[in-house]
């Protein structure tokens, strides 16, 4: 009962509203809106253009998991599906829902590929992406500590345990018949499915996908630094590369709608430790969210082609 309540759409909408209220209660919302409106018109197309190679990398890594041989046309087709998945995700409380639909757009183009393989590749891409994000977040903590940044002790504990758990999971998945063992327990059916996908996939393909994640995620996070420059916020690229992986990993939790509310709260929580004003931080966070929506809307435009 409690699980259904906590994961329901209504709960996430309410949680987003509550977090947005607390994040913006001491900020002049009218002034914030004027700052956003005053941004030159060419900024958004330029940022969307910057995001395109990152989306291209997402399509590329997904194509690697599905096709035996990947061409540039395949990468474009899968990238289009990624955009469509982002568009569909706008209508659901979590982007994972968009993932469940985006592969259907490729069925006509690749009739020889089974639905099971498409669905499995989406799941596998998510798992590897999450693994890369956990690794990058832990590296960010270590680098941040080296440069004198301070983090709560519970973050160290959570991220270290997460990475240790992932290492144990991959070792068990590849070295022993872990799939058959956990298949005996109905509660772990999804985990057994993931293990099966990992064991059947090419190891080189998995490595390539992981590398693409490691390259594309910092590039995506650097968008926040570019937006900060636009609004005159004295935020260093190092600050962004240290805090954004941590924020992104926390936002994986399905606690809000499209990250709104949770993202603003986390931005203020982490970046205010650098002595930056909350109103400027919220402008950057809000614009970041708007940019994400506009990028997803490209998928809506692509549905007509």
Could you report the per-residue pLDDT of 133-152, keeping only the tens digit for each?
Answer: 999 999 999 999 998 888 88
Q: Which residues of the chain fall short of a pLDDT of 70? A: 1-9, 12, 91-98, 100, 177-192, 254-259, 305
Could you report the per-residue pLDDT of 42-84, keeping only the tens digit for each?
Answer: 999 999 999 999 999 999 999 999 998 999 999 999 999 999 8
**What pLDDT is recorded for position 8?**
56
**What pLDDT is recorded for position 6?**
47
Burial class (CB in 10 A: 0-12, 13-18, 19+), 220: middle
**What pLDDT is recorded for position 101?**
74
**What pLDDT is recorded for position 216?**
93
Asked if 179 and 192 count as a contact pair (C-beta separation under 8 A), the reply is yes
In Å, how far are 33, 44, 101, 234, 281 from 88, measured between CA atoms? 27, 21, 7, 35, 28
**What pLDDT is recorded for position 16?**
76
Domain ranges of the chain: 2-21+46-302
Q: Mean pLDDT in the chain?
A: 84
Asked if 24 and 264 count as a contact pair (C-beta separation under 8 A), the reply is yes
**How does DSSP assign 40-60, residue by residue?**
-TTHHHHHHHHHHHHHHHHHH
């Amino acid at each position: 009962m409690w699980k259904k309540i906590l994961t329901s759409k209504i709960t996430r909408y309410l949680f987003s509203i509550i977090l947005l209220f607390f994040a913006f209660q001491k900020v002049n919302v009218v002034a914030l809106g004027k700052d956003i409106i005053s941004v030159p018109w060419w900024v958004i197309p330029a940022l969307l253009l910057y995001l395109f190679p990152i989306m291209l990398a997402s399509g590329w890594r997904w194509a690697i998991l599905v096709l035996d041989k990947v061409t540039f046309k395949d990468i474009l087709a899968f990238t289009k599906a990624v955009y469509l998945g982002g568009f569909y995700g706008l209508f659901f409380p979590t982007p994972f829902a968009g993932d469940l639909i985006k592969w259907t757009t490729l069925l006509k183009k690749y009739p020889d590929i089974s639905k099971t393989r498409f669905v499995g590749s989406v799941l596998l891409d998510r798992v590897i992406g999450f693994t890369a994000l956990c690794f990058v977040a832990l590296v960010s903590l270590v680098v941040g500590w080296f440069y004198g940044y301070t983090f709560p002790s519970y973050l160290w504990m959570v991220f270290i345990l997460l990475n240790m758990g992932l290492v144990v999971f991959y070792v068990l998945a590849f070295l022993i018949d872990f799939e058959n063992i956990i298949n005996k327990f109905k509660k772990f059916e999804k985990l057994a499915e993931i293990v099966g996908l990992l064991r059947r996939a090419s190891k080189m393909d998995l490595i390539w996908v992981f590398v693409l994640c490691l390259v594309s995620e910092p590039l995506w996070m650097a968008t926040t630094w570019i937006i900060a420059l636009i609004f005159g916020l004295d935020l260093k690229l190092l600050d962004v590369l240290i805090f954004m992986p941590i924020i992104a990993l926390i936002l994986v939790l399905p606690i809000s709608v499209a990250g709104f509310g949770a993202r603003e709260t986390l931005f203020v929580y982490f970046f205010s430790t650098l002595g930056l004003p909350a109103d400027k931080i919220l402008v950057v966070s809000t614009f970041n969210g708007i940019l994400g929506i506009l990028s997803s809307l490209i998928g809506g435009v692509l549905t007509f082609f």
